[in-house]
A and B are shown apart, each in its own frame.
Chain A
Amino acid sequence: MTNAPILLEMRSITKEFPGVKALSDVNLVVRAGEIHAICGENGAGKSTLMKVLSGVYPYGTYTGDIIYQGQPARYSDIRQSEHAGIVIIHQELALIPHMSITENIFLGNEPRKRGAIDWKAAQRKAVELLNQVGLKEDPDTLIKDIGVGKQQLVEIAKAFAKDVKLLILDEPTAALNEADSQHLLDLLRGFKERGITSIMISHKLNEIEAIADSITILRDGKTVETLDVGAGGVDEDRIVRGMVGRELSSRFPDHTPKIGETFFEVRDWTVRHPISAERLVCKGESFHVRRGEIVGFAGLMGAGRTELAMSIFGRSYGVYLGGQIFKDGKELQLKSVADAIHHGLAYVSEDRKAIGLNLLDDIKTSTVAAKLSKITKRGVLDEVAEYQAAEAYRRELRTKAPTVDEGVSKLSGGNQQKVVLAKWMFTDPDLLILDEPTRGIDVGAKYEIYGIIQRLADQGKGVIVISSELPELIGLCDRIYTVFEGQITGDIARKDANPETLMKQMTSTKKMQTR
């Protein structure tokens, strides 16, 4: 790849926000036809750099030069960069749920005939584009009716409709399951053969290692290095070292589990979909958790892990049809979230911004939000007790914020996740259910979150971890259940857990148990 012509060069890009230098003297060289990965911890400046490139931050608001196809590029908005063939696909997809695939693909770019939209041409073109991205869906399907993996493909088709030359993907696989991610990566390889250059921002280092031709690493708004994968010697550890600036000896803290008696048990749990009466999302499943045990739930997107967890957590999902919950030998009736909290359950949701936190709140208010009774004296909230509790958790979890009065919307993903953890630790739970606890969090913060989870288990609590990242489950959990289409298909002990076994159980109904 080192011999291919240079498609894009960004020279000494510096971008300042009031009081912060987000990018300082950053250089990036992308050659035509390659897949170029950009790595860095959260806040390293990856997204900012891409926004400079695509004109979200217009020319003049940064210093430095962009040379694209041999010409200086000075975009004042995103339209100009798209016109030049630079298309960015953001982490949060920009699709309109109640419009069809065709309508979304051509939104803002509608083919016209004598002033009116030429829907026939659009339809034809849409079918062609969907073929190119390998999506077999009727182009009249509404976006809300297809999964997030397919939505991602629609976004790419939309980029193709604009005659893309340089495709920028910001965390394209963050919300995808393994199979969809694999499909997307294959697709990128296909594009490469057709001469389309891609820039990919990702936290998933295994994917980057598998697909990238070169890797530029950013740290604290500066370029650290650009690695040429073809030259060899680049592996995940090498990338991590560049990102954090030090050797990370292990991705998981050392831990000796102290596992006690079974204290939490779910039997024959049956739940149906909230709207469709025939669809069972949980088909009479049973599982248990021991004190001090970290139990993983592995499964593909849509397997029903989140649904299972939320239905147990005070029936906050679906319609309860049957099943029992036992804690310490006693049966619990958990008919509301308040009941569940009262009986020592905590559920940390997978989407902390949408349903985990009130982004208008500060750290203090968020920390105590799930158990206000603990700081209430004779019906009155005790502000001092609130402050002290929040401050104690801030120190314990090492949340990076000047004070607990800081708004949670200002925190980085990892720190927000710590606030959510604090919020649920504050409820003194016996069983914590953590749904994708490290999604969208950088390597350093992940390590800390793992440590917190292990400490909670060591205090004799049971911890359930739902995750789409198999290495995470394997590294962290003492035992892993696999879930496939609403059924628990495997109960796999730590020593037997490996990606192959798990993947097999995640995609079949045959039951398997190891001891």
Chain B
Amino acid sequence: MSRFKDLQKNLFGGTTSNARQFGMIFTLLAIVLLFQFLTADKIGVGFGDGLTLRSDNLIALFQQNSYILILAIGMLMVIVAGHIDLSVGSVAAFVGILVAKSMADWSLPWPVAILFGLALGAAIGAWQGFWVAYIGVPAFIVTLAGMLLFRGANQFVGNADTIPVPPGFQKIGGGFLPEVGPDTGYNNLTLLLGLAACVAVVWRELQSRRTRKEMNAEPAPMWVSVIRMAIMVGVLVFVTLRFAGGRVGTSFPISGLILVVLVIAYGFYTRNTAGGRHIYAVGGNSRAAELSGVKLRRVNFFVMMNMSVLAALAGMIFVARSAASGPQDGLSWELDAIAAVFIGGAAVSGGIGTISGSIVGGLVMAVLNNGLQLLGVGTDRVQIIKGLVLLLAVALDVYNKSQGRFSIIGSITRPFRREASAEPASSSAAGSEPAKTTVAG
């Protein structure tokens, strides 16, 4: 038993922060495999002919969810800073319709229109950030107002009508990596991308081992690293081949590429820069952060503004994919984004959460959604199931935490923390009463 636990800890309970995120990824894999199994033609025959992992389904899954995942990135930062943004769906819709109009009525070229959309997002974000950071209105109220405001503005501008967008623009939502180079039977750029990802995974693992050594800490045994890398690379190779080997003309979607770039950039920002750490500091204890020299208003303004820029981007990608902008765009997106962040382990009170956790949380919801639809479950029941999953995932985590047990979500949510020690709490906090009583002790 203890050996199994060791193994579990080494592989998933991990010794570095990125190793612990592996635990959550494992959960996601389990769900994917479950649906692959359930959607196979004959139950029990095998995974091979399941619908979930077919190229076209994987591609659709990414295209249908990239904008929610982009929102989840911004929402994670907003929630970590201790706020919430209810307006993202409306902002996305408003920016979407204005961008569509700018191309249709004012004949803006599409690359310019994209820049215009991002600038619009920044302006809306500055508006909301101003109220939150400089006037001190709770973000819940500001963005509730924004939700009404920009939904109304969308319908006012578009006369509650749809506006089509040109094919060039449609690429950012519905486009794929182009075919280049020799005919290999696969999409070459997708293959290259997959190769780069594999190299990055190996490099990061080795890098984290080196860092641990420099910190005088025992790295996990080499075989653990090897197994971990092997699983990651295996998954990446499989996914790459699926994306690269789909129907001719399809490959890794452009919107997925945008998502990957954003995840890497924002992941790095939140983890490895002072600005990112300030967001956690403000969410954890804003007064303490302020007295440590953190410019509170600037941080709050930034996270709110950033959220609206990402909402604008998400809105444009959605419009591009559906080839037109309409009055119902972005309806209840805020709820999906918020759910992704909380399933991904963020704390309601702020200060805790990671980008990668939120992405995995979003993917769990996406796979669930997709898998249930493939099984022919109606949207009514899908919603019921998603609601229960959100509630149970967070409840289980809260319960485990209150019992002082291993918390799946908690384990991926401390971006700067390694496993403290192998022993239980007994030897920690030397000489103090156990954690529960130290407050009054």
Contacts and interface: CB of A to CB of B under 8 A. Distances in A.
Interface of A: 17-20, 22, 42-43, 45-48, 51, 90-92, 170, 220, 313-314, 316, 336-338, 340-341, 347, 349, 354-362, 364-365, 369-373, 376, 379-381, 383-384, 387-388, 391, 400-403, 405-407, 409-412, 415, 423
Given A42-B432, A355-B291, A405 B419 contact: yes
A402 B274 contact: no
Nearest to B425: A19
Given A47-B441, A361-B284, A410 B274 contact: no
Given A355-B291, A406-B420, A411-B432, A387 B215 contact: yes
Contacts of B436: 17
A380 B427 CA distance: 34
B429 A406 contact: yes
* Main secondary structure on B side of the interface with A: loop
Given A19-B423, A314-B293, 9 more contacts: A337-B292, A356-B291, A361-B416, A365-B277, A401-B429, A405-B417, A406-B428, A409-B438, A415-B432
Given A22-B433, A47-B433, A379-B273, A370 B285 contact: no
Contacts of B42: none
B441 A358 contact: no
A22 B437 contact: yes
Contacts of B185: none
Task: Name the residue in B215, B288, B290 with the highest tally of chain A Cβ atoms < 10 Å from its Cβ.
Answer: B288
Given A20-B426, A90-B440, A365-B416, A359 B421 contact: no
Contacts of A402: 420-421, 423, 427-428, 430
A17 B280 CA distance: 31
A202 to B, nearest CB: 14
A18 B424 contact: yes
A46 B420 CA distance: 27
Interface in B260-289: 272-274, 277-278, 280-281, 284-285, 287-289
Nearest to B416: A365
B391 interface: no
Rank and list the top 7 A-B pairs by shortest CB-CB distance, nearest first.
A19-B426, A358-B284, A412-B432, A17-B434, A372-B274, A400-B430, A43-B432
A89 B431 CA distance: 25
Contact of B352 (A20, A51, A220, A360): A360
Contacts of B217: 403
Task: Name the residue in B214, B289, B293 with the highest tally of chain A Cβ atoms < 10 Å from its Cβ.
Answer: B293
B289 A381 contact: no
Interface string B279-322: 01100110111111111000000000000000000000000000
A20 B435 CA distance: 10
A356 B288 CA distance: 5
B421 A410 contact: no
Interface in B373-431: 404, 414, 416-421, 423-431
B273 A362 contact: no
A293 to B, nearest CB: 24
Contact of B441 (A48, A360, A383, A406): A48
B288 A341 contact: no
Task: Name the residue in B280, B291, B425 with the highest tally of chain A Cβ atoms < 10 Å from its Cβ.
Answer: B291
B416 A410 contact: no
B211 interface: yes
Nearest to B441: A47
Contacts of B414: 362
A402 B426 CA distance: 11
A22 B434 contact: yes
B351 interface: yes
Contact of B293 (A18, A338, A358, A379): A338
Given A355-B291, A400-B431, A410 B438 contact: yes
12 contacts: A17-B433, A43-B433, A47-B440, A90-B440, A347-B291, A361-B284, A369-B277, A381-B274, A384-B211, A402-B421, A412-B431, A423-B292
Contacts of B285: 354-355, 357-360
Nearest to B422: A402
Contact of A372 (B211, B277, B430, B439): B277
A182 B290 CA distance: 36
Given A170-B440, A380-B272, A384-B215, A357 B433 contact: no
A371 to B, nearest CB: 8
Given A20-B425, A360-B351, A412-B438, A373 B281 contact: no
Nearest to B351: A360
Contacts of A384: 211, 214-215
Given A47-B441, A381-B272, A410 B291 contact: no
Task: Name the residue in B211, B294, B433 with the highest tally of chain A Cβ atoms < 10 Å from its Cβ.
Answer: B433
Task: Name the residue in A337, A376, A379, A411 with the highest tally of chain B Cβ atoms < 10 Å from its Cβ.
Answer: A337
Contacts of A372: 274, 277-278
A410 B430 CA distance: 9
Contacts of B216: 391
A411 B432 CA distance: 7
A372 B271 CA distance: 13
A336 B431 CA distance: 39
Given A359-B285, A381-B277, A401 B430 contact: yes
B277 A357 contact: no
Contacts of B293: 314, 336-338, 340-341, 370-371
B432 A358 contact: no
Contacts of B273: 376, 379-381
Nearest to A313: B291
Given A18-B425, A384-B215, A358 B351 contact: yes
Contacts of A358: 280-281, 284-285, 288-289, 351
Contact of A407 (B214, B280, B417): B417
B265 to A, nearest CB: 13
Contacts of B287: 354-355
B277 A410 contact: no
A432 B287 CA distance: 19
Contacts of A365: 277, 416
A334 to B, nearest CB: 11
A387 B211 CA distance: 10
A44 B136 CA distance: 44
Contacts of B440: 47, 51, 90-92, 170
A407 B351 CA distance: 14
Nearest to B437: A48
Given A18-B404, A373-B274, A403-B420, A360 B284 contact: yes
Nearest to B213: A384
A406 B293 CA distance: 24
Contacts of A18: 404, 424-426, 434
Nearest to A384: B214
Contacts of B431: 42-43, 220, 400, 412
A351 to B, nearest CB: 9
Given A46-B441, A336-B295, A20 B433 contact: yes
B404 to A, nearest CB: 6
A20 B417 contact: no
Nearest to A388: B215
Contacts of A337: 290-294
Nearest to A402: B421
A26 to B, nearest CB: 13
Nearest to A445: B431
A51 B433 CA distance: 13
Contacts of B211: 383-384
Nearest to A375: B274
A341 to B, nearest CB: 5
Given A362-B416, A405-B419, A349 B432 contact: no
Contacts of B423: 19, 402
Nearest to B274: A372
Nearest to A364: B416
Nearest to A353: B439
Given A358-B288, A380-B272, A381-B277, A411 B425 contact: no
